[in-house]
Chains A and B, each alone.
Chain A
Amino acid sequence: MEFLIWGALPYAVAVMLISGLIWRYRYDQFGWTTRSSELLESKVLKVASPLFHFAILVVLMGHLVGLLIPMAVTNWLGIDNHDYHRGALIGGGFAGICLVVGLVLLLWRRSTKGAVLRATTTNDKIMYLVLATVIGLGLVATLTGGIGPGGEEHNYRETVSVWFRSLLMFHPDVAAMQAATWQFKVHVLMGLTLFAILPFTRLVHSFTAPLHYLFRPYIVYRSRGDGKTLSRTARGRGWDPVGTPDNARGRR
């Protein structure tokens, strides 16, 4: 059972993520958008959205460092475990708190501002639930996951990180993950869920971060005949009819 979860499931999730992204990119470019609600409400958004997004970028960097850089490397660099964890706790904890505050503000905005709530689809609600759970569990793991049930010290860099890197080598070290505390296990499990549903939610916008904007020319010319001007979006997906009942009925 544990082998299925820690040895097979991550690969299933990876396949789902990658193939989902390719499928969506190929057949639902029209749906690939942030679906911003700034038009409908901007006061709260202006504070909460940058807070959330910048925090999640920091958290992402923290995860990459924590998961990818083996303990041996930091030890070799002369950073001892205690210092590392203090740094991670301060930096990561601060970003984590910003992230949670941002998310709470965004969720409050979404649920109390009528126009924004109305623009929220069922898909969005499921996504927010999973996202909030992952972030909440992440904070729980950071704060309480350092001590095992028997009171022994638990270092995720010796369990989760080792397991994560073993996945990249296609030789899953299930035992390493089994040794992690329950907080980390649940966090990872929910994280996998999030990645699995990601291609089918509005979160796909994170995969088209427009960094090429820094390099492209300001004025874009395109020929009518170059074929790029034609939609690749599947039929049946597109603009919706107007009207109050239609708004509710056609909701995606």
Chain B
Amino acid sequence: MGRRVMAQVAMVMNLDKCIGCHTCSVTCKQAWTNRAGTEYVWFNNVETRPGQGYPRGYEDQEKWQGGWIRTKSGRLKLRSGGRFKKLLTIFASPTQPGIDDYYEPWTYDYETLTTAPLGDDFPVARPKSLITGQDMAIKASANWDDALGGIAETGDQDPIVKKLREQANQQIKFEYEKSFMFFVPRICEHCLNPSCMASCPSGAIYKRSEDGIVLVDQDRCRGWRQCITGCPYKKIYFNHRSGKAEKCTMCYPRLEVGLPTVCSETCVGRLRYLGIILYDPEKVTKAALADEQDLYESQLDLMLDPSDPQVIADARASGIPDDWLSAAQRSPVYALIKHFKVALPLHPEYRTMPMVWYIPPLSPVVDLLKSQGHDAEAGGNLFGAIDALRIPLEYLAELFTAGDVETVRLVLQKLAAMRSYMRDVTLGRPLQPELAEAVGMSTEALEQMYRLLAIAKYDERYVIPTAHVAEAHNLEEMACSLDFEGGPGAGGNGAFASGSGRPIPIALESFAETKARRDAAEASR
């Protein structure tokens, strides 16, 4: 019996390119959470770093109890407690964030602007709470500290800043606003070892075995809200209207037909990469038990080389179709994560094995050099500056490697080497292959990486195999065979007719509906 191989859709974001425009957040919201009960829900949000994030301070797991811990006996345990404790505290979840930890959503009383009687004062559209319907004072929102707004006041509330200060045991003066700022767009991590799923008493959260996308079954969710505590990234939200948990769907209806997610498609910086990786599901738990700073490596080890003949044979035996295998071989995500090793997981220490990875930003370093009058893209200057900027490095390490500074340093050096080397190529100057050697790469690899990161062609950023054809056919077969025009199954929509329980993939359904509408319109002409 060979090893079992599973495919997982993963994302990489190149933080150097994020300008914090929030287009991904807005388009995602329009597509998915523009509904009652989800006003405060951002499947995708963009956080300014340093900053508190959303919900505020979510990274403080002492407080929020998300993710897994390794017990003294070497087993994985939910930080918020085992199964019995979860059931005993089900009547009032002990550490669920309240609406104030997010923000009270609001709209404006726009009608007053047009209906106010003529008078001396200009009419004002007052903010109205979408929770209580009453007038309200706006105190916070999803990006209240956007672009370091108010950082002098709130900087200390960033859990990572807090931790670094405790470690340094000295007062680090808050000069971040001069030297150091970047944006982190966040979606659900679609983890290999999701703690939200493990926390769900109903078993309503599941991982799709074909592509690893983590979804909430809206029918089976009973609103026990343990997943919200369980997720350390706080990327499961409670729809207070429907009483169900909701989360990022990785835009699965789009992925199934080969389209990138809405956030990826609309990203003006073109910083997102989508592809699949292959992994061995049997090894996930063991990998999640590594020492904190080894979790990055252990997660790398989980990912299998899609060009290895043995992996290909095992994947075929596990039922992974050939077009998926070829997509895995061309996967930009695999290239950035495992081949070039420039992408890092967000908070590996939560032990959930997240699958949305980040290329840490070199730009703050470059900007600083430039502002000091240096040649910001000369290899020597950049390498020196990376070493000198201790605090940004430590900060990035807390985000991406559980505090292991060396890994982050090497990634930034690779990015610096690529910049310097490619500048010489572009300007026709003598090349410096020693830059590549210094970071343990070949010049060809630097150029390939440049192509993927800087040129970033659409079809190289997104390599998405479609839902397999044979399977789609099976889904069609499952429809009622009596359901032809005028047949006994062709009832109207309703509780007892064909409207319920008829399996049609969403993308096909909307296509069919559109077509039916168009045909009807043409027939009536």
- A36-44, A59-67, A74-82, A156-164: which one contacts chain B? A36-44
B206 within 8 A of A: yes
Interchain CB contact under 8 A, B99 and A39: yes
Interchain CB contact under 8 A, B92 and A115: no
A27 within 8 A of B: yes
A214 to B203, CA, bound (A): 11
Give chain A's interface secondary structure class: loop
A210 to B133, CA, bound (A): 34
Q: Which of A1-56 contact B (CB under 8 A)?
A: 27, 29-30, 32-42, 45-47, 49-50, 52-54
Give the chain B neighbours of A216 by CB distance below 8 A: 203
Output the least CB separation between B39 and chain A (Å). 6
B310 within 8 A of A: no
Q: Which of B80-107 contact A (CB under 8 A)?
A: 83-84, 86-87, 89-94, 96-99, 107
A33 to B246, CA, bound (A): 13
Output the least CB separation between A209 and chain B (Å). 9
Give the chain A neighbours of B220 by CB distance below 8 A: 29
- B168-176, B403-411, B495-503: which one contacts chain A? B495-503
Interchain CB contact under 8 A, A231 and B205: no
Give the chain B neighbours of A235 by CB distance below 8 A: 493-494, 499-500
Give the chain B neighbours of A227 by CB distance below 8 A: 478, 503
Give the chain B neighbours of A30 by CB distance below 8 A: 218-219, 242, 244
Output the least CB separation between A98 and chain B (Å). 13
Interface size class, chain A = 35 or more
Output the least CB separation between A30 and chain B (Å). 6
B71 within 8 A of A: no
Q: Which of A204-252 contact B (CB under 8 A)?
A: 205, 208, 210-214, 216, 218-225, 227-236, 238-244, 246-248, 250
Tally of A-B residue pairs with Cβ under 8 A? Answer: 194
Interchain CB contact under 8 A, B93 and A38: yes
With A210-B222, A223-B208, A243-B36: A34-B243 Cβ-Cβ less than 8 Å: yes
With A33-B244, A243-B36: A232-B91 Cβ-Cβ less than 8 Å: no
Give the chain A neighbours of B26 by CB distance below 8 A: none
Give the chain B neighbours of A35 by CB distance below 8 A: 223, 242-243
Interchain CB contact under 8 A, A231 and B243: no
- B124-132, B263-271, B420-428: which one contacts chain A? B124-132
A176 within 8 A of B: no
Interchain CB contact under 8 A, A210 and B87: yes
Interchain CB contact under 8 A, A244 and B130: yes
A228 to B89, CA, bound (A): 29
Interchain CB contact under 8 A, A213 and B205: no
Interchain CB contact under 8 A, B471 and A225: yes
- B58-66, B192-200, B373-381, B440-448: which one contacts chain A? B192-200
Output the least CB separation between A183 and chain B (Å). 29
A71 within 8 A of B: no
Give the chain B neighbours of A247 by CB distance below 8 A: 36, 130, 133, 241
Q: Which of B89, B203, B239, B471 contacts A220 (CB 8 A)?
A: B203
A189 within 8 A of B: no
With A50-B91, A210-B222, A219-B197: A233-B503 Cβ-Cβ less than 8 Å: no
Interchain CB contact under 8 A, B107 and A213: no
Give the chain B neighbours of A225 by CB distance below 8 A: 471, 474-475
Interchain CB contact under 8 A, A231 and B194: no
Give the chain A neighbours of B203 by CB distance below 8 A: 210, 212-213, 216, 220
Nearest-neighbor residue (CB-CB) of A245 within chain B: B133
Q: Which of A151-206 contact B (CB under 8 A)?
A: 202, 205
Q: A30-B219, A213-B86 are in contact. List 18 more A-B contacts (CB 8 A).
A: A29-B219, A32-B219, A32-B222, A35-B243, A38-B225, A42-B98, A49-B92, A202-B243, A208-B202, A219-B194, A219-B207, A219-B284, A221-B208, A225-B471, A228-B217, A242-B36, A243-B107, A244-B130
Cβ contacts A to B, 25 pairs, < 8 Å: A30-B218, A32-B219, A33-B222, A34-B223, A36-B243, A39-B238, A42-B92, A45-B92, A49-B91, A210-B87, A210-B224, A213-B201, A216-B203, A219-B284, A220-B207, A221-B208, A224-B210, A229-B208, A230-B502, A235-B499, A239-B36, A239-B242, A240-B242, A241-B36, A242-B39
Spell out B's residues near A (CB within 8 Å).
34-39, 83-84, 86-87, 89-94, 96-99, 107, 128, 130-134, 193-194, 197-198, 200-203, 205-211, 215, 217-225, 238-244, 281, 284, 467, 471, 474-475, 478, 493-496, 499-503
- The list of the 3 closest CB pairs from A to B, nearest first, reads A35-B243, A210-B201, A29-B219
